[in-house]
């Protein structure tokens, strides 16, 4: 069996019966939706038309939400239905980032992920999904696509159908008869802000609260050549009337009239944890490579202080990760019932393995410093075994972001290398800060300055040339990059990341001095956070539905 949906847009009247039936059948909380209807109006009065699109989980044949889930809370049944088990969900919100269709939400009552599950409880007793039963126009067809005698198989055989975002490779099984391109592509019509049928849309602020935009709204017009233009619309100006651009009358209008809003899942803890784990891993990597390869002589004070600082930032990383969960008490589910395809589960292994080994190494160095014993072979074992674990801590997030297939900007092939460079950069910055208080040996300080400066230059090159100068593979990635460099997060990027995070530290290093070197390290840490904040937030501003 292989269950799917067909939405016949020729019949849909936008009555929302499917949405209401879904809420009633599944006890869906207020403010969230498993099924919703999007309205888009096109044309110029009186030659205008309203298009409807029933939107929900696509029950993909290749579901990215299943792969990224660290606890098997999201899974695919043998009949193709993508189901979820909220009893083991930890609320990491990774599945929301993996879904290219905004079909998953956090239930405000259970604080776990939820979505359309094909009314599997009804299907298992021989009933159809509630939305199918209640539709007055029989516009929703559900059934087994492997059964050649089923109604859905007949419809798929007789009609040309389309799916949303086929380029994502998810193989969605929610098909549309006469799907309208303007409705199906979420970026076809700008919506920040816009006027809906019954109310002005207030965009959701990054912390989930509403953000008011004053007296101005925006209406979207589109010329006959397909070029969309956004123009401010003041109060009292009709939304549907002709609009002039330099004296030329617009020939076409496109406007979203009704849709469901979706909150941004990840906020400040994610960019903060990227910085803290980079510091923790970077300190260990620099000390391990420096002592292991003979770049500088071993120093017990530096080992104890540097190891302690690394462990402190690993603790901060763990605290931030747990804080960001909707169900923090279930954190250990990642190791108690892991789903090993998920880089969240794999990353937890790196985090715990590195914390354990770095902790043992630090205890050894502390004992060696206090009781004056030394076993160089044991130290070498700790440092060389810890090096790949530290590198894994630094880099695993790149593969986690790659599994977040709903955010195209995060799919950069440069990201693993970029995270390694950032870790070495922050490791050097941390050692320079230690030098201000402990006066670490000159050869270690010199190596820290060299590695810090080199990593700064390489990171600046990757950021400006590698990540943002090369054309992006998709429109969504390009929009997110533009949001970082020229949109809402441009100040985070240019003044924060480039200015405070790179230019100021390099100038401090050129002038020289222990105090300025330490200030350069602090400035870089702040700049890196601002960069990561923009990098995490900007792709989430681009709508997926």
pLDDT one-digit tens code per residue, 123-142: 999 999 999 999 999 999 99
Helices in 43-180 by DSSP H: which ranges? Answer: 64-68, 94-98, 120-123, 130-134, 151-158
On the question of a cis peptide bond just before residue 482, with omega within 30 degrees of 0, the verdict is no
pLDDT of the residue at 244: 39
Q: What is the 3-state secondary structure of 167-221?
A: HHCCCCCEEEECCCHHHHCCCCCCCCCCECCCCECCCECCCCCECCCCCCEEEEE
User: Looking at per-residue confidence, does 92 or 471 come out higher?
Assistant: 92
Assess if residue 138 is contained within a domain: yes
How many Å apart are CA 244 and CA 313, to the nearest integer?
57
What are the tokens at 285?
């990597």
pTM for the model: 0.89
Widest Cα–Cα separation across the chain: 90
| Overall average pLDDT of the 455-459 stretch | 97
Question: Range with the lowest mean pLDDT among 33-42, 248-257, 415-424?
Answer: 248-257
What total number of domains does the chain contain?
Answer: 2
The verdict on 171 and 275 lying in the same domain is no
Q: Distance between CA 222 and CA 204 in Å, rounded?
A: 26
191 closest CA partner among 47, 41, 404: 41
* Residue count (the chain): 545
Query: What tens digit of pLDDT does each residue of 50-99 get?
Result: 889 999 999 999 999 999 999 999 999 999 999 999 999 999 999 999 99
Can you give the pLDDT at residue 201?
Answer: 53
Q: Round to whole Å and give the CA distance between 528 and 362.
A: 27
> Do 288 and 423 lie in a common domain?
yes
Whether residue 168 is contained in a domain is answered as yes
Q: Are residues 514 and 365 located together in one domain of the fold?
A: yes
CATH number of the domain bearing residue 472:
1.20.1630.10
Per-residue pLDDT at 228 exceeds 60: no
Contact status, residue 62 vs residue 231, Cβ threshold 8 Å: no
pLDDT score for 199: 57
Percentage of the chain modeled with pLDDT above 90: 78
The answer to whether residue 195 scores a pLDDT higher than 80 is: no
Residue 263 pLDDT: 86
- Strands 217-222 and 228-233, bridge-based pairing: antiparallel
Whether the per-residue pLDDT at 10 is higher than 60: the answer is yes
List the structure tokens of 301. 């004070």
Question: For 106-119, how does the pLDDT look when each residue is reduced to its tens digit (9 = 90+)?
Answer: 999 999 999 999 99
Please tell me the least confidently modeled range out of 170-179, 272-281, 468-477: 468-477
Burial of 34 (0-12, 13-18, 19+ CB in 10 A): buried
The pLDDT-based confidence of 187 (bands split at 50, 70, 90) is confident
Confidence at 229, pLDDT banded by 50, 70, 90? very low
Name the domain boundary from 151, 184, 217: 184
User: Out of 245-249, 306-310, 361-365, which region has the weakest mean confidence (pLDDT)?
Assistant: 245-249
Structural domain contains residue 227: no
User: Is the per-residue pLDDT at 454 higher than 70?
Assistant: yes
- What's the angle, vertex CA 30, arms to CA 27 and CA 32, rounded to 5? 90
Q: Any idea which of 5-19, 249-263, 478-492 has the lowest mean pLDDT?
A: 249-263
Residue 226 banded pLDDT, cuts 50, 70, 90: very low
Range from 160-164, 208-212, 535-539 carrying the lowest mean pLDDT: 208-212
Which among 132, 152, 184 is the end of a domain?
184
Please report which confidence band the pLDDT of residue 200 belongs to, taking 50, 70 and 90 as the band edges.
Answer: low
| Domain assignment present for 354 | yes
The answer as to whether 224 is a domain residue is: no
**Same domain, yes or no: 486 and 339:** yes
Task: Examine the pLDDT at 190 and tell me if it is beyond 50.
Answer: yes
- Residue 216 inside a domain? The answer is no
Q: Which domain holds residue 123?
A: 3-36+53-184
Residue 327 in this model has a pLDDT that exceeds 70: yes
> Lowest-confidence range among 143-152, 231-240, 307-316, 329-338?
231-240
- Angle, helices 376-403/343-371, rounded to nearest 10 degrees: 160
pLDDT at res. 40:
87
C-alpha closest to that of 170 among 299, 46, 35, 59: 59
CA distances from 370 to 300, 375, 376, 441, 481 (A): 10, 14, 16, 19, 51
Which residue, among 370, 467, 373, has the nearest Cα to 413 in the 3D structure? 467
How does pLDDT run across 505-525, given as a tens digit for each residue?
A: 999 999 999 999 999 999 999
Q: Which residue has the tokens 């990027």?
A: 493
pLDDT at 313 over 50: yes
Among candidate residues 49, 22, 3, the one with its CA nearest the CA of residue 178: 49
222 band by pLDDT with thresholds 50, 70 and 90: very low
Residue 222 lies in a domain: no
293 and 411 assigned to the same domain:
yes
Q: Average pLDDT for residues 446-465, to the nearest whole number?
A: 96
What are phi and psi for residue 75, nearest 5 degrees? -145, 165
Same domain, 293 and 175: no
At residue 237, the pLDDT reads 34
Chosen domain end from 184, 199, 229: 184
**pLDDT of 239 higher than 90:** no
Return the pLDDT at 191. Answer: 60
Which residue is associated with the tokens 């956070």?
Answer: 529
In this prediction, residue 469 has a pLDDT band, given cuts at 50, 70 and 90, of confident
pLDDT tens track for 351-371: 999 999 999 999 999 999 999
Locate 48 and state its tokens. Answer: 């205008």
Helix axes 514-541, 269-292, angle to 10 degrees: 140
pLDDT of residue 208: 47
Q: What is the CATH number of the domain that holds 20?
A: 3.30.70.20
Which tokens belong to 60?
A: 């993909």
| 494 and 377 in a common domain | yes
Are residues 419 and 285 both part of a single domain? Answer: yes
Q: Are residues 155 and 285 in the same domain?
A: no
Place 253 in a pLDDT band, splitting at 50, 70 and 90. confident
Instruction: Band the pLDDT of 121: cuts 50, 70, 90.
Output: very high
The answer to whether position 498 is within a domain reads yes
294 in the same domain as 149: no
């Amino acid at each position: 069996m292989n269950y799917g949906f067909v939405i016949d847009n020729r019949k849909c009247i936008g009555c929302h019966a499917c949405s209401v039936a879904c809420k009633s059948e599944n006890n869906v909380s207020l403010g969230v939706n498993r099924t919703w209807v999007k309205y888009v109006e096109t044309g110029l009065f009186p030659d205008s038309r309203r298009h409807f699109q029933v939107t929900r989980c696509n029950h993909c044949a290749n579901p990215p939400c299943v792969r990224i889930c660290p606890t098997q809370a999201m899974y695919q049944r043998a009949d193709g239905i993508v189901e979820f088990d909220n009893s083991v969900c930890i609320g990491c919100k990774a599945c929301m980032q993996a879904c290219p269709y905004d079909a998953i939400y956090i239930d405000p009552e259970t604080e776990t992920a939820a979505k359309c599950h094909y009314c599997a409880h009804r299907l298992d007793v021989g009933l159809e999904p509630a939305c199918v039963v209640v539709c007055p126009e029989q516009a929703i067809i559900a059934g087994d696509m492997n059964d050649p005698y089923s109604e859905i198989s007949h419809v798929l055989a007789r009609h040309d159908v389309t799916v949303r975002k086929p380029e994502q490779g998810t193989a969605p099984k929610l098909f549309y008869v006469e799907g309208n391109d303007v409705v199906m592509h979420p970026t076809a019509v700008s919506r920040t802000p816009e006027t809906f049928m019954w109310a002005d849309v207030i965009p959701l602020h990054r912390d989930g609260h509403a953000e008011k935009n004053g007296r101005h709204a925006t209406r979207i017009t589109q010329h006959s050549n397909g070029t969309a233009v956004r123009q401010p619309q003041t109060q009292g100006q009709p939304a549907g009337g002709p609009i002039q651009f330099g004296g030329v009358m617009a020939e076409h209008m496109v406007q979203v009239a009704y849709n469901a809003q979706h909150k941004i899942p990840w906020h400040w803890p994610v960019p903060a944890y990227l910085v803290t784990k980079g510091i923790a891993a970077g300190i260990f990597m620099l000390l391990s490579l420096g002592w292991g390869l003979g770049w500088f002589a071993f120093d017990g004070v530096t080992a104890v202080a540097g190891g302690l600082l690394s462990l402190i930032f690993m603790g901060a990383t763990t605290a931030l990760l747990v804080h960001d969960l909707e169900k923090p008490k279930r954190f250990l589910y990642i190791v108690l019932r892991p789903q090993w395809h998920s880089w969240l589960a794999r990353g937890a292994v790196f985090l715990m393995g590195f914390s354990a080994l770095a902790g043992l190494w630090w205890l050894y160095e502390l004992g060696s410093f206090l009781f004056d014993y030394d076993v160089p072979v044991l130290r070498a074992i700790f440092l060389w075994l810890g090096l790949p674990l530290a590198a894994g801590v630094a880099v695993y997030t790149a593969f986690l972001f790659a599994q977040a297939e709903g955010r195209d900007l995060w799919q950069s092939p440069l990201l693993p290398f970029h995270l390694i460079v950032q870790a070495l950069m922050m490791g050097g910055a941390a050692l320079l800060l230690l030098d201000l208080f402990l006066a670490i040996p000159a050869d270690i300080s010199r190596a820290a300055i060299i590695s810090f400066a080199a990593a700064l230059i390489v990171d600046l090159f990757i950021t400006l040339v590698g990540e943002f100068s090369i054309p992006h593979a998709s429109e969504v990635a390009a929009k997110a990059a533009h949001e970082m460099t020229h949109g809402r997060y441009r100040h985070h990027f240019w003044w924060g990341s480039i200015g405070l995070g790179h230019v100021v530290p390099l100038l401090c290093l050129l002038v020289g001095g222990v105090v300025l070197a330490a200030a350069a390290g602090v400035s870089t840490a702040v700049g890196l956070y601002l960069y990561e904040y923009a990098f995490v937030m900007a792709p989430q501003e681009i709508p997926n539905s």
